[in-house]
Structure 1
Amino acid sequence: MPVRVECTIRPSRLRFVYASVPLIAGVLLGLVLALPVWTALLWLILGYLLWAHSRSYFEPEYLRFYGEDLTIWQNNAPIVLQWQGHGRRSHAFIQWRLLDTQGQTLTLRIWRDSVSDASWRALNMAFRVALPSARQAGKTD
């Protein structure tokens, strides 16, 4: 029996920390090792590119996860997406690779601090429970 999880999603501050700490460390390491100034500029450009890439992810306001289906609400409009068992789970985020109705692949990343603790545990549990059946359904499609 599929597990149903619904949660409200807030903007994440953790995403900024995970992106900025390695970049700041790279700039400082370059300055300490007396590397040319242009290496610090390369780190800043890399930081901007990572920021722009991370902004390309969905920023939904509400999520409903039921079996292999994810419904997200963005700007009060529901978007139904199909999960085929691809994604990853870590201590900081859960990432799904999803298909929309046109067959386009989309990435949804939910950060730990963007949902409540109970919702985070429920999403982790639902991800683990639904993973085998979602992979099996993805192979048959």
Structure 2
Amino acid sequence: MAVHYTRPSKNRNLEWFMVAVSTLFGAWQLLPFDAMITPAYETVTDWAQETVWGALFLVLGVIHGGALGINGRVWWSPLVRFVAVSLGAMVYALFSAAFAAAYFGSTAVPIYALFSAGMIACAIVAARDAEYARGLKHGATDA
């Protein structure tokens, strides 16, 4: 008995947007000025230096973008996307929580929470794509 999987959606607009956000955010923090110098960033800069956060966001964005760019050409690309966006969701949620602890009225609280939610939505799509790819790898056919 063959297992049938529904082909995943080709619409990746949210994922490409999140790739751009993470990559730009990371690259901006690596520029030669202090982007996280305001007191609101004090909590996150106590945990790690700005360059560490910048490198983390940049690497996650590049890995996510690379896996998204080759998505479907290799079976493991949705798994890489899933890991990258899951980590991104956690880091954006961490930033939201840090800003909430420092000053709940900051606009950064809902913005970082929204970015985290966007990453969670991307993780759901990547997980569906991974299940589809796993089915193809093991001989399932399209529905």
Q: Same fold (TM over 0.5)?
A: no
The structure with the largest helix share of the pair is 2
Please report the TM-score for the alignment, with normalisation by the length of structure 1.
0.30
Q: Which has the higher contact order (CA 8 A, sep 6+)?
A: 2
Higher strand share: 1
